[in-house]
Every structure is written in C-alpha cells, then in structure tokens.
Amino acid sequence: MHNLGVLLSGRGSNFLAIADAIDAGKIPDARIAVVISNLADAPGLEAARQRGLNAVAIEARGRKRAEHDHEVVAALRSHEVELICLAGYMRLLSPGFVQAFSGRILNIHPSLLPAFPGLDAQMQAFEYGVQVTGCTVHFVDEQLDHGAIILQRSVPVLSGDDPHAVAARILEQEHVAYAEAIARVLSGKYEIVGRRYLPKK
C-alpha cells in the first residue's frame, strides 16, 4: 500500500479529487495517510476530517521556514508517507524539506509551465492574452514551479471568458490530471532523463 501525504492551504478541491480517485480505484494500492495544512482554518482540512482522514494543522505563522518544515517532515514520516502531493499548498518548501523527500514530492500548478509560475497563474495567463492555458503536474525541486513535468492538460481561453471561467475550466482538468499523474508515479514505470519524464513499459 502506498501512503500519500497531502499538503494544502485552501479549499482542497484537488485533495478531494485525489481522495475520490482512490475510492474509484483510479490510483491503485494507495491511501491518504495524512492531510496537513499550514492554516488551521483551511476548508480542505475540515473536508479531510469529514472523510475520516488524519488531518493535522501545523501553523506556520511567526515561525522560521526551516523550523516549520522540520515539523511537517516529522509528521509525514510518522505517518510513513511515501509520496507527498502539494494541493494548493501556498508555501515554498525549504531545501531541507525537498531533500528529505527527493523525487517524492508532486505539485499541481494552474498553468502550462514554464509559462506563468508563481501566484495567480490563471489571472497571469488571462491578462497576457494567451488562447491556450492549462495545468501542470510536476516533481518539486528547490526552485519555484520548476521540477520535471509529469503531465500537462490544456484548455482554451474563449473570447467571452472572464478570469473566473478560465480558472474553473483549468480546475476541472487539474482534478483529472493530478490523479493520473499520481498513479503514473506510484507505478514506478518512468525515468527522469535531464528534465524529461519518460514513461517505461
């Protein structure tokens, strides 16, 4: 059984999509061992509790990044987490965190990286005037929104769209993409060559 650890800061729709995908058998031999948030009032944490999952708040406010991350890493280890899924976790990970789980941290970002890293990626893309955007699931390295890309899904930006419509269209694809990427990584059937994710038979 693969133990997943989900980190989130907000509403947790990607977390719920992962949980639903597990329940639907789309991520074989996996369970969510723990959901951790840096914000005690994150709705996603409450949603995790309601599903009967271990849900832990580790407040970051007023603490040094390395110290906070150390505690998060300890919690992940105590739940024997194999793969970490950042799902709207709006904090940079310290190098120590990334090294502790090297090659075992995934993130989902709401743009086609390397375009529009950072905050409000959907709005950045909308204002830039792109006609195609989407989402990216990638490994986390020590740089922001930078590690090897596992999977991307694209969506059109239509002429009548407002930023909200674009974000909603992307989010729908995020929910599909994340579950698929997790299943791929857990299968172990891939190699990373340079920056490239290459599936293996």
Residues that bind ligand GAR (CB under 6 A): 8, 10-14, 44, 87-88, 108-110, 121, 171, 174
- Shortest distance (Å) from residue 140 CB to ligand GAR: 11
- Shortest distance (Å) from residue 72 CB to ligand GAR: 16
Nearer to ligand GAR, 103 or 117 (CB): 117
Please tell me the distance from the alpha carbon of residue 115 to that of residue 84, in angstroms, as a whole number.
Answer: 24
- Shortest distance (Å) from residue 89 CB to ligand GAR: 7
Catalytic residues: 109
* One-letter identity of residue 158: L
Q: Over the range 3-33, which residues count as b (16 or more CB within 10 Å of their CB) and which as e?
A: ebbbbbbbebbbbbbbbebbeeebbeebebb
Nearer to ligand GAR, 87 or 105 (CB): 87
Evaluated on CA atoms 40, 180, 124, 127, the torsion sign reads negative
Please tell me the distance from the alpha carbon of residue 56 to that of residue 122, in angstroms, as a whole number.
Answer: 29
Nearer to ligand GAR, 141 or 174 (CB): 174
Q: Which residue is nearest to ligand GAR (CB)?
A: 88
- Shortest distance (Å) from residue 134 CB to ligand GAR: 11
Nearer to ligand GAR, 11 or 26 (CB): 11
Please tell me the distance from the alpha carbon of residue 116 to that of residue 75, in angstroms, as a whole number.
Answer: 32
